[in-house]
Structure 1
Amino acid sequence: MLKARDVMTDKVVTVKKDLTLRELSDLFLAHRVNGFPVVDNDNTLIGVVTEKDLIEQNKNLHIPTVIALFDAVIYLESGEKFEQEVKRFTGTRVEDIYQQDVITVEPDTAMKEVASLMANHDIHTLPVVEDGRLVGVIGKVDVIKSMSQF
């Protein structure tokens, strides 16, 4: 049975959360990928930043519906969500826009499970981690190449 370790790319370009968005844009252009794993100094995966995250940073800010009651303002939507949107909208570094909740697989994960995760969650690149450390990535192209071996 084919496993993640058999098809993953182990030479992975990663970014740190203090990278500027201008530098991130340059990396996207240079490497022609749709996302980068975000790691700390120990190569522990802390998130992922995608082209979509960068593009959404430039979209219009959604102002939540509020009502004023006496001297208080009450959000009819999540105030926390609004704060996150403001942070993304005004962000200048990867830490302002990256996704911290990341679906990952381990090196021994079966490729059928990898393919299912990617399809069910609309993931283009899946980080492969071992003991929290990034050891590789699997892209949709890797899955397609491996399909003849399922």
Structure 2
Amino acid sequence: MFLKDWMSSPAVTVNKDEFLPKVIELMKENDIRHVPVMDGDKLVGIISDRNIKDYLPSSSTTLDVFEIHYLIGKVKASKIMKKNVITAEPYTPIEDAAKLLYDNKISALPILDDGLLVGVVTDRDVYRALISITGVESKEAGYRVYCEIEDRSGTIREVADIIRSYGFGIESILSSHTLTESGKRKVVIRTRGKGDFEKMEDAVKKEHPDAIIA
């Protein structure tokens, strides 16, 4: 899956010379936590709700509310934006975007196509993609089959074939080598539709006694 399928497009943006109250208003109106900052067609920064909170006076300030409004009314987006923005492209895989967000401790990626801003992907979009990939919201999704298998060609298909032989379809398959012994891999297969659960469970556990099916 690519970011083009999950990004918000067109992106809500602000000009670098926009004043902070307008930026805050725009973010509230569009229910967003990040807004790219533009200089014409060029992306020059990004503002998050955290940037705004960090910039505003603390609750212990001696300024009154009118003084605070007066001061922030003179602050431009370019003053508080984060520069050197980390970006991605429309055909960046969703898992690569997740790693970018995680490694850089950020929660939004502006999406550039030939240098032009075409959208924004946030951590929430990555969550939506994960929900879709795993089939959690599918009305046809059924059981999850968790097991550790040999890391060789065809072993995932063997488990899937057992599941299918008892009437179930396959909604999704996830596999990982993380936290396994050498020569092993973990697999999670989510079933689809109806079948003979008890016979399927017995057959899977005959081959993989430690399997968890729920």
Deviations 1:13-37 (Å, cap 9, x if unpaired)?
Answer: 1000110111112112212211100
Residue of structure 1 equivalent to 2:83: 100
Distance in 2 between residues matched to 1:139 and 1:58, nearest whole Å = 24
TM-score (norm 1): 0.72
Distance in 2 between the 1:19 and 1:26 partners?
11
Structure 1: segments with no counterpart, 5+ residues: 61-88
Shift of 1:11: 2.2
Q: Which amino acid aligns with 1:18?
A: D
Note the 1:1-150 alignment, pairs <5 A.
2-42=1-41, 44-59=42-57, 92-147=75-130, 148-149=132-133
TM-score normalized with structure 2 length? 0.52
**In structure 1, the residue corresponding to 2:14 is in which secondary structure?**
coil
Change (3 A) 1:29 1:90: closer
Structure 2 distance, partners of 1:132, 1:91, is 30
Cα shift at 1:90: 10
- Name the SS of the counterpart of 1:99 in structure 2: coil
Bigger Rg over Cα: 2
The structure in which a higher percent of residues are strand is 2
Look up the SS of the partner of 2:15 in the other structure. Answer: coil
Please tell me the root mean square deviation across aligned C-alpha atoms, in Å.
2.0
Larger RCO: 1 or 2 (CA < 8 Å, sep 6+): 1
Stretches of 4+ aligned residues off by more than 4 angstroms: none
Q: 5+ unaligned residues in a row in structure 2: which ranges? A: 59-71, 135-214
Contact 1:37 1:127 in 2 (8 A): yes
